[in-house]
Amino acid sequence: MTTTPPSGPATSGGESHEDLIQQLGIALLDLAPETGWRRIDLVSSMTVPVQDLGLTVIMDDGSRPEVRPPHELNVVLAKLRTLTYQPGRGAWFSARVSMNPPGAIFYNYNYDYEPRLTPQMKPEDYAEDLKMFPREPEHVPGWLREKLAAANGEEQK
């Protein structure tokens, strides 16, 4: 995974990378208990047609209360994914945003490795994603080549 600066100055709505990260941070703080938390982890796996979101709050005592992430986080993450798209390299497939008290935010983006989902995304999901966020051949990892071939009904040799 890599931490990558945005490719453009702002979204079509005028939001910068910093604005979107701040929106995520505020939303995460709103979801966390007022006191006693040690870390908040938000993990998103995404293609254009599919979004998966996981949220974990770790308390000082090690417990992990159940917290359901609101759909609005997917909206912000989709904007972030579009903003961080790198022409030729593509868009990230998963992202992690973590927060430690009192509000330090850390983030990284995975442009290269297949997201771990159950069930896995369909090959067609990746093909659709590549239409929206094209990649140069040297930035298409082997696993993605296999998915694209499967989406096109081709057999890998």
Q: Domains of the chain by range and CATH?
A: 17-151 (3.30.500.20)
Q: Which two tokens stand for residue 138?
A: 């040297």
The owner of tokens 């939303």 is 27
* Residue 102: per-residue pLDDT: 87
Answer yes or no: is pLDDT of 42 > 60: yes
Which residues touch 67 (CB under 8 Å, ≥6 apart)? 31, 32, 55, 56, 57
pLDDT exceeds cutoff 70 at 132: yes
Q: Specify whether the CB–CB gap between 133 and 84 falls below 8 A.
A: no
* The model's pTM: 0.85
Q: What is the 3-state secondary structure (H, E, C) of 32-75?
A: CCCCCEEEEEEEEEECCCCEEEEEEEEECCCCCCCCCCCCHHHH
pLDDT averaged over every residue in the chain? 89
Residue 5 predicted with pLDDT over 80: no
Percent of the chain that is helix, strand, coil (3-state, to 5): 30, 25, 45
Given a cut of 60, is residue 2 above it in pLDDT? no
Q: Does the pLDDT value for residue 110 go beyond 80?
A: yes
Instruction: State the Cα–Cα distance between residues 75 and 80, nearest whole angstrom.
Output: 9
Q: Cα–Cα distance between 39 and 59 in angstroms, integer?
A: 7
**What pLDDT, on a 0 to 100 scale, did the predictor assign at position 14?**
80
pLDDT at 13 over 80: no
- Give the Cβ contact number of residue 126 at 10 Å: 24
